[in-house]
Amino acid sequence: MTERFAAGDNLYLANFTLRAPQDEELILPIENFAKELKSIRCGKPGEGMTLEFRDKESYQYAQKQWRWVDDEDINHFVLVTEPDQCYQGDDRSPYLVKTITFDESKLTACLNAEEVEWKDVAQNFHLNVGHEYVDPTTANVTHPHLVKKEDAKFDLSMNYNQQLFNFAKDSGDTAGLGLSANAEITTGGSMVADFDIDTFFGVPKGVSMRIYPQGVYGQIMLSLNADGTLGKPLDWAMKPEIEIPVGALNIKGLLELGPYITMGVHLGSSALTGTATWSAGAKASLKDTAEVKAQLLGSGDNTIKDWDPIFEKIDPTFSAEISGDVRAWGELGVQFKAEVLGSMCSYLPSRIFSWTNLE
C-alpha cells in the first residue's frame, strides 16, 4: 500500500509492501476489488464485516477464490481496509479473516473478521519513506489528491522556557546561597528524512536513514538568580537530559518517524557571593549542505557531512555586583527516532551545537 502526503513543501511517499510468510496465508487490500462492491458494512468489534457485491459475476468470482478459507482451520487471510472505510477517522487497518459465510440471494459475503494490530500480521515487509519537492504555488494542480498533513513537517520550531532548579539559602545544595536557574531554548527550521527498513519473519535485515537540515538553527539562554554566599562548591548536571518531541510523521499503528530535540546542561561554581541576575547563552545554525547517511544495522557506510554548526556566543550580562565564578556547559542536539510496528530504532546524527565555559 502507498500513502502520499504533503509536509511543508515536500511530497512524502510511504510505500509499505507486506509479504505473506506461508502458503496458507493471503494479504488482500480492499482497494484491489473495491469497484466490484456495492457496500461494505463493518460491525462492532467481534461482529465481523459484510461485503455486498455489485453483480452475480463478481460475487461468484470472490466465492470461488475465497472458498479455501473454510477448507482448513489454518487457512486465513488478512483483509486491509482503506482510510475511513469502516468508520470516520480510521486509518488503513488489517482484519484477520478466519471464516466466510456466503449468501447468493443477497450477493453478500459475511466475514468472520477481527481487527488486529499491524505488528501481529506484518512479519515480512519492506517499508520505504521518501520525499520530493512540490512547488506550493502549483500543488493543487500537479497533485490534486495530495493530503496535507501539517503534523508531518519534521518542523523543529519550538520554544521551551522552564526552571531548572531553585535552591533555598538554607538548602544543603548551596549552603547559604539562594540560587535558581532557568533555561530557554529556541529552535527553528526543519529536517528532511528518508527511511527504509526490510524485515524477514519479524527480524530487520536492513535499516537505513538519510537526514539533512533546511534552515535549522538553535539558541540556548541560561539565567541565574543568586542571593547570598555560596558555602560549598556547586556542581549541578541535568539528569536525565531533556528530550522534546517536535514535528513527526505518524501513520497509525505502522510508523512514527520524526526528530527529538535533546538538551543537556551542566553548571558549576567554586565561589559566589552577592545579589544578582546572570544570563548567558549561545546560538548556532546548520548549513543546508549538511547530510547524514546511516546504516542502522550491520557495517554499512555511515557518513556525516558539513554538520559543524556556525556558532555565535551570546555575551553574559549581570544585573548587579557579584564576585566569584560561574561556569556553564550546554548541549543542544537532534535525535531521529523511527518506531515501526511498535519497535524503536534511533540515530543521533550529531549535536546542533554545544557551548562551554561561559563566565
CA distances from 52 to 33, 48, 271 (A): 12, 14, 81
**Each residue's pLDDT tens digit, 158-192:** 888 989 899 998 888 888 889 999 988 888 888 77
Q: Alpha-carbon distance 176 to 233, whole Å?
A: 11
Return the sign of the alpha-carbon dihedral for residues 89, 195, 12, 160: positive
| Rounded percentage of the chain residues whose pLDDT exceeds 90 | 8
Task: Point out which residues pair with 37 in neighbouring strands.
Answer: 53
- Tell me what percent of the chain is helix, strand and coil, each rounded to the nearest 5: 10, 60, 30
Residue 10 has pLDDT above 70, yes or no: no
Provide the b/e sequence for 320-333 (b: ≥16 CB within 10 Å): eebebebebebbbb
Does the reported pTM lie above 0.85?
no
Cell numbers that stand for 43 in this block = 460491525
High-pLDDT (> 70) share of the chain, %? 72
Distance CA 237, CA 195 (A): 34
Q: In the prediction, which pLDDT does 137 show?
A: 63
pLDDT surpasses 70 at 46: no
Find where cell 530557554 sits: 184
> What confidence tier does 108 reach under pLDDT thresholds 50, 70, 90?
very high
The residue assigned the cell 515487509 is 125
pLDDT tens, position by position, 60-73: 998 888 877 766 65
SS3 120: helix
Q: Work out the number of other CB atoms within 10 angstroms of the CB of residue 217.
A: 19
pLDDT value at residue 298: 60
- Residues 197, 127 contacting (CB under 8 angstroms): yes
Listed by start position, the domains of the chain span 22-122, 150-355
Mean pLDDT of the chain: 76
